[in-house]
Amino acid sequence: MSDHALDAFAPILNWRLLKGSHSFPGPDGGTCINEAAMVAAGLPYRAITATEDCPPCFSRPLAAYALGLNDAMPEAERQGLMAFVLRLSGSADAPAIEAARTAFLALESARRILPPLLDAAGLPALAARCETASDAQSAMVALRAAEMQGGTLAYAAAGRHAWIAGARAAAAARTATAALRAFTDPRSAAEVAEGAAPFTEGTWRIALTILDGALGIGRQAPAIDLVSARDRLEAARTHTKSV
Regarding whether 180 and 131 lie in a shared domain, the answer is yes
Complete DSSP assignment for 135-182:
SHHHHHHHHHHHHHHHHHHHHHHHHTT-HHHHHHHHHHHHHHHHHHHT
Per-residue tens of pLDDT for the chain, all 243 residues: 444 444 556 667 677 888 877 677 776 677 889 999 998 899 988 888 888 999 999 999 999 999 999 999 998 899 999 889 999 999 999 999 999 999 999 999 999 999 999 999 999 999 999 999 999 999 999 999 999 999 999 999 999 999 999 999 999 999 999 999 999 999 999 999 999 999 999 999 999 999 999 999 999 988 888 888 888 888 887 765 444
> So what's the pLDDT on residue 5?
47
> So what's the pLDDT on residue 104?
98
- Phi first, then psi: give them for residue 158, nearest 5 degrees: -65, -35
Q: What is the DSSP letter of 49?
A: S
Regarding whether 208 and 98 lie in a shared domain, the answer is yes
pTM score, whole prediction: 0.90
Regarding whether 228 and 213 lie in a shared domain, the answer is no
Regarding whether 185 and 104 lie in a shared domain, the answer is yes
> So what's the pLDDT on residue 204?
97
Q: How many independent structural domains does the chain possess?
A: 2
Regarding whether 120 and 88 lie in a shared domain, the answer is no
Regarding whether 243 and 187 lie in a shared domain, the answer is no
- Phi first, then psi: give them for residue 143, nearest 5 degrees: -70, -40
CA 204 – CA 195 distance, rounded (Å): 11
Regarding whether 210 and 98 lie in a shared domain, the answer is yes
> So what's the pLDDT on residue 223?
83
CA 20 – CA 62 distance, rounded (Å): 17
> So what's the pLDDT on residue 1?
46
Regarding whether 132 and 213 lie in a shared domain, the answer is yes
Regarding whether 207 and 102 lie in a shared domain, the answer is yes
Regarding whether 113 and 160 lie in a shared domain, the answer is yes
> So what's the pLDDT on residue 108?
98
CA 35 – CA 16 distance, rounded (Å): 11
Tell me the residue range of the domain where 128 lies.
94-218
CB 151 within 8 A of CB 175: no
CA 63 – CA 13 distance, rounded (Å): 19
SS3 label, residue 17: strand
Regarding whether 176 and 230 lie in a shared domain, the answer is no
pLDDT tens by residue, 39-71? 889 998 888 888 899 999 999 999 999 999 999
Regarding whether 233 and 173 lie in a shared domain, the answer is no
